[in-house]
Amino acid sequence: MSPSPSLAPETPKAVDYLADQLERGFYGGAWHGPALHEVLEDVDADTAHRRLLPTGKTLWEIVHHLAAWNGIAARRIRGETPEVTQEQDWPPVTDPSPAAWQAALAELEAQHRDLYRTVRGLDDARLDDAVPGSDPTVRGLLLGTLQHNSYHAGQIALLKKAGK
């Protein structure tokens, strides 16, 4: 005998799973290692601004880049078609002060929160909708964003170790 419909467990929605993965990758609990927020929590402005590899990016530049792309992903899911210039892709660091570093971290978190809220507002049926940009669907865009955030979290962790 199967349970009555009112007692049957609710099937988790795919958007809930994707939103959970965004949170784990940003705040913690991901299998890949330290989450983005965790790896950044003890970085100061001087460390963030230091170029550890002559042709590499600084931690600060990576933070700007991640904030930009989390914001672009949210906008694309909402149906916008933002053009992405080189300066938007890798926003420059124009003020290396501690206050500007804290503002950059706050912007990254704000863009993450906006993306998270955008994903939580979706129905599963929207995941296979076409989306402007490099990924053909909302699902592809979100999976790519998760991979992108994880890649750069690992990059930041390695750059931190190299700078000590």
Q: What digits encode the pLDDT tens for the residues 87-143? A: 999 999 999 999 999 999 999 999 999 999 999 999 999 999 999 877 789 999 999
Choice between 142 and 6, residue whose per-residue pLDDT is larger? 142
Exposed / middle / buried, residue 112 (Cβ in 10 Å: 0-12, 13-18, 19+): buried
Lowest mean pLDDT across 6-15, 23-32, 36-45 = 6-15
Exposed / middle / buried, residue 92 (Cβ in 10 Å: 0-12, 13-18, 19+): exposed
pLDDT range class, residue 31, cuts 50, 70, 90? confident
What's the CATH superfamily of 14-162? dinb family like domain (1.20.120.450)
Q: Could you count the other beta carbons within 10 Å of the beta carbon of residue 88?
A: 15
Query: Mean pLDDT in the chain?
Result: 91
Q: 21 pLDDT exceeds 70?
A: yes
Q: To which residue do tokens 């099937």 refer?
A: 11
**Neighbouring residues of 24: CB distance < 8 A, sequence distance ≥ 6:** 30, 35
- Residue 149: predicted pLDDT: 96
What is the rounded distance in angstroms from the CA atom of residue 29 to the CA atom of residue 141? 22
Tokens of 117: 């809220």
pTM for the model:
0.90
Side-chain-side CA neighbours of residue 17 (13 Å): 8
- Residue 147: predicted pLDDT: 95
